[in-house]
Structure 1
Amino acid sequence: MPDVIVVGAGPAGSAVACHLARAGLDVLILEKTTFPREKVCGDGLTPRAVQELVALGVDVEDPGWFRTAGLRLVGGRHRLEIGWPGGSLPAFGLTRTRRDLDELLVQQAVKAGATLREGTKVTAPLRNRTGQVAGVVAGGREHHARLVVAADGASSRLSVATGLRPRPDRPIGTAARRYYRSPRHDDAHLEIRLGVTPAGYGWIFGMGDGTCNAGIALLRDTRADCRRVLDRWLASLPADRALTEEHALTPVRGAALPMGFSRQPHYAAGLLLVGDSGGMVNPFSGEGIAYALEAARLAAETIGTALARPTAAQRERALHRYPAALKSAHGGAFTLGRACAQAIEHPWVMRLAARHGLARPVLGRIAVTVLAGMGDPCGRRAPDRLAAALARITPAS
């Protein structure tokens, strides 16, 4: 019997499995699809995500990565370029398709000692006599374990089956993206375009291989058709972007963005949630991979500590520290993000932000550092210190 079953082999699931296997635990990963497989994402990785990849032992010097130097924010007639902060974080970001990234991360977990079973769909949790989750039903058979980690995405059927449903007071955004052959494929800045729609933005991320990932994120619940919004926005861009139908390489694909800890608690009765299953997407920026990787590390540390305890009561007390650790790490930033995402639904707020934020580099840098979690957590610059301070004093929820 494995120590831990991880359901889902996206970035969060593969990362927690890798950390656990390296710590000497017996880990089984159950993935319903087979690799390689597509996932809807912007494919942009911030330095925070890069730092987690390095901790997992991923070779970020591999030629399959494309390095980025920072963000470019465009709103109305204004644009602002912000370099990655460096300091205790890597001084660069990366792009890579999720088709490649997810397979690379699960291979890293397997190299660390985890067992992967692809094409194995989990259909139900198993509970012991005390009501604790003690395994899952998958592939027509029972799989028992001491703990189970739900990393099965935004819908997280495993979480729903155990009674953990999304909170009604948390936003569920939507995103759509498409790949294009573009001369801007080697742009070193991740371009974010504001004002495309209220409480949303468009992105153009160079992949360094002759293609760009172009998409749109709607950060609040809306009835708007994300794919139609994407089509209209792309049609408005300059022709030199080459983001047109004749240059398209893939269909438009969409996905949900579960934000701001939309499903809680993150630990209950033998089940831990990581990544999209726990709604770990920043409500302001729409970024999820960095938070998923960080949560995976925190979950692995918690599990390792808990399973080393001699009694069931001591193990439970240790496991219940995981939600508190998550809120300490991200709760303040997510609360700020929700408030700001709600504010920019008003067009006048967005116009004001574009006019005064992007036109004033210092103000724009501070806003992005605080709200998008872009700062160096150990940095000495004023924006980084302000971001850390605001995250600490904002109540986590």
Structure 2
Amino acid sequence: MVADRTGDADVIVVGAGPAGSATAHYLAQHGLEVLLLEKATFPRDKVCGDGLTPRAVAELVTMGVPTRPEDGWIRNKGLRVIGGGHRLELPWPQVASYPDYGLVRARSDLDSTLASHARASGAKLLEGMAVTKPVTDDAGRIVGVQARPVDSRGRATGEAQRTFTAPLVVDAGGVSARVATAMGVEKRSDRPLGVAVRTYFRTERHDDDWMESHLELWDGPPGKSDLLPGYGWIFGLGNGLANVGLGSVSSTARATQLDYKSLFSRWMQNVPGEWGFTPENQVGDLRSAALPMAFNRTPHYTRGLLLVGDSGGMVSPFNGEGIAYALQAGRVAADVVAQALARPDAPSRERALAAYPRRMRDDLGGYYTLGRHFVRLIEHPRVMRICTKYGLPRPLLMRFTLKLLSDSYDRRGGDAIDRLITALTKVVPAA
């Protein structure tokens, strides 16, 4: 704890998704007083593929989150890729840094579990508290937030708005990043933006132990009809349901102008009937979400405010995953904050806090730069079609691709593929 703290907490964390809960958990473990504010009431849903790569699993292990099958965590062997007339099953790589399995867990369960884990670690969680704006001092430094109590449907309860104060605030509020935006931290137009839509189906495929990716979506028989834009996925949840969705990505901040509901419907009309992806088996609406990629909002630290997870654009351009990086950012941010708050004066605290964006950039900046180049290629359908047709039959190339796209390569040695990917991330600018 900070000896001379004044206010409601040492740190306020806005948003109790994976990024916010991880940050709060680690801050509490460092002995700090943490206030975690969440506008919703758990359990609550988020649009997501519900799939966790080995990198994300490793972060959960580091957090001490149990991932036992009896608690609803579904393990998978790797990625099944379908496209270009090929069907290929790629086991997760065996590397020292990450386990050789992934997980699937519905976000409604995952987020509740992580928020409870943060609370058990010592963070104070306030649900139904919608943060409306930052509170700043005369120098423009954030010193707290204002929030209004809301009910489970997000409607104001009529209770008076509250003000919470702390020397540092973490914006983990997702793609909207309301606190960061109000502090003048704007999105970058030169970063990719993805869009994902998904729903759930009752299906016999619920216990598939491979995460399945469809690189081609057909408006009829494959090869004999129109190829739809985007890519699709099917992730079994093991409880009678499968998460089924599709996504697309643009190399700039301008979202692709696609009718996703129509695309999804046309894809579902042409999948095998035995999968059961029919309207009567659909559970829940088809929902969409934006995926802010490749550090699309910077700086990640300014004037007492840190950005973690989607608020800082920490979604991979390669595969649209954000949870692994949200958990990592929470871990790094908490370490930096604990070191900073132990310093005796403001200048030394600021020097310590400046390490947060630098550490995130050093670890992910080059990788995200490669991802930006990757997006520029695959957003051209002809290029994507050629890569799918001629790349999938080549096992060595696909092993390289799986490690690269899933960020499951060993940065500290490993095999020749690991060393090649590491070298590539070092030679490109980590912007």
TM-score by length of 1: 0.97
Cα deviation, 1:67-117, whole Å, max 9, x if unaligned, reads 011011111201221111233211211000000000000000000000000
2:216 counterpart letter in structure 1: G
Equivalent pair of 1:370/1:386 in contact (CA under 8 Å): no
Cα deviation, 1:182-205, whole Å, max 9, x if unaligned, reads 111111111111133787310000
1:138 counterpart letter in structure 2: A
Residue 75 of structure 2: which of 60, 67, 72 is its match? Answer: 67
Q: Distance in 2 between matches of 1:386 and 1:149?
A: 35
2:128 counterpart letter in structure 1: G
Matched residue, 1:145: 166
Matched residue, 2:95: 87
Matched residue, 1:217: 247
Q: Distance in 1 between matches of 2:376 and 2:410?
A: 26
How much has 1:55 moved relative to structure 2? 1.1
Q: Distance in 2 between matches of 1:41 and 1:187?
A: 18
Q: Distance in 2 between matches of 1:365 and 1:230?
A: 29
Q: Distance in 1 between matches of 2:402 and 2:54?
A: 14
Q: Distance in 2 between matches of 1:72 and 1:379?
A: 27
How much has 1:372 moved relative to structure 2? 3.2
2:185 counterpart letter in structure 1: L
Matched residue, 1:317: 351
Residues 365, 198 of structure 1: alpha-carbon distance in 2 compared, 3 angstrom cutoff: farther
Equivalent pair of 2:366/2:426 in contact (CA under 8 Å): yes
Residues 239, 378 of structure 1: alpha-carbon distance in 2 compared, 3 angstrom cutoff: farther
Q: Distance in 2 between matches of 1:378 and 1:67?
A: 26
Q: Distance in 2 between matches of 1:239 and 1:375?
A: 37
Residue 171 of structure 1: which of 189, 192, 210 is its match? Answer: 192
Q: Distance in 1 between matches of 2:213 and 2:417?
A: 20
Matched residue, 1:274: 308
Equivalent pair of 1:199/1:219 in contact (CA under 8 Å): no
Matched residue, 1:155: 176
Q: Distance in 2 between matches of 1:182 and 1:44?
A: 17
Alignment of 1:1-397 (within 5 A): 1-63=8-70, 64-88=72-96, 89-139=98-148, 140-196=161-217, 200-220=230-250, 221-378=255-412, 380-397=414-431
Q: Distance in 2 between matches of 1:22 and 1:170?
A: 34
SS at match of 1:28: strand
Q: Larger Rg: 1 or 2?
A: 2
Q: Distance in 1 between matches of 2:415 and 2:267?
A: 35
**Superposition RMSD on alpha carbons, in Å?**
1.4
Residues 372, 394 of structure 1: alpha-carbon distance in 2 compared, 3 angstrom cutoff: farther
How much has 1:305 moved relative to structure 2? 1.1
How much has 1:347 moved relative to structure 2? 2.1
Q: Distance in 1 between matches of 2:76 and 2:313?
A: 27
Equivalent pair of 2:53/2:406 in contact (CA under 8 Å): no
Matched residue, 2:151: none
Q: Distance in 2 between matches of 1:229 and 1:199?
A: 8
2:245 counterpart letter in structure 1: G
Q: Distance in 2 between matches of 1:46 and 1:188?
A: 13
SS at match of 1:90: coil
Runs of 5+ unmatched residues, structure 1: none
Cα deviation, 1:287-317, whole Å, max 9, x if unaligned, reads 1111111111111111111111111001111
Runs of 5+ unmatched residues, structure 2: 1-7, 149-160, 218-226
SS at match of 1:185: helix
Q: Distance in 1 between matches of 2:229 and 2:19?
A: 26
2:95 counterpart letter in structure 1: G
2:91 counterpart letter in structure 1: G
SS at match of 1:356: helix
Equivalent pair of 1:21/1:114 in contact (CA under 8 Å): yes
Higher deviation after alignment, 5-14 or 227-236: 227-236
SS at match of 1:249: strand
1:69 counterpart letter in structure 2: K
Q: Distance in 1 between matches of 2:417 and 2:90?
A: 12
Higher deviation after alignment, 214-223 or 94-103: 214-223
Equivalent pair of 1:195/1:350 in contact (CA under 8 Å): no
Q: Distance in 2 between matches of 1:200 and 1:314?
A: 48
2:319 counterpart letter in structure 1: S
SS at match of 2:284: coil
2:137 counterpart letter in structure 1: N
